[in-house]
A = this chain, B = another copy of it.
């Protein structure tokens, strides 16, 4: 199987265009003389950060997401300000803004697509260790709330399929072996 781009974009058409979310419907030559319309959403690259505090807790964010009309538990996440931004810098900024925290170490765990048939979202997952909780710039409101759980409890939620945001659940499951390897008797029984 060839690694060459098998599709050729004949025309790129925007139905909506903005910095944070655009909708495209392209004319695409998919080979053998076949031409189709392919529609998808275009969004900036993003980071997902699992924040592990110095005393072995994980910080999650509970918020309301309009597209699914539901409340979801997530890890701190955010978009790169520009395509050239270093994702590690984005991760540190999100940690600062959403958790009010700084970390000792930022460990890169994976790069992934969230839903590659519908969306071009292309993200990095980090584990932030030694997080010191500060004053979040994010105002806790009825629509957003920090949840600080013992690490094992957060991992258990993910392992049982109870974190309904798949991106965050995946980040927690990837971080699990790293978190468990760091366990200290003084913070996790």
Chain A interface, DSSP helix/strand/loop, else mixed: mixed
A-B contact pairs, 22 of them (CB 8 A): A2-B142, A6-B64, A6-B143, A16-B39, A31-B143, A38-B66, A40-B67, A41-B41, A41-B118, A42-B67, A67-B118, A68-B116, A72-B116, A110-B161, A112-B161, A112-B166, A114-B118, A114-B166, A115-B166, A116-B165, A161-B174, A166-B167
- CB nearest to A48 among chain B residues: B166
Question: 1/0 contact trace for A93-116 toward B, CB 8 Å?
Answer: 000000000000000011111111
- Top 4 A-B residue pairs of the complex, sorted by shortest distance between their CB atoms: A110-B161, A65-B116, A112-B166, A40-B67
- Whether B23 contacts A41 by the Cβ 8 Å rule is yes
A122 interface residue per 8 A CB criterion: yes
- Whether B68 contacts A120 by the Cβ 8 Å rule is yes
A185 interface residue per 8 A CB criterion: no
Please, how many angstroms separate the alpha-carbon atoms of A18 and B37 in the complex? 12
- CB nearest to A18 among chain B residues: B39
Please, how many angstroms separate the alpha-carbon atoms of A112 and B161 in the complex? 8
- Whether A118 contacts B121 by the Cβ 8 Å rule is yes
A71 interface residue per 8 A CB criterion: yes
Assuming A68-B122, A115-B121, A116-B65, is B170 touching A166 (CB within 8 A)?
yes
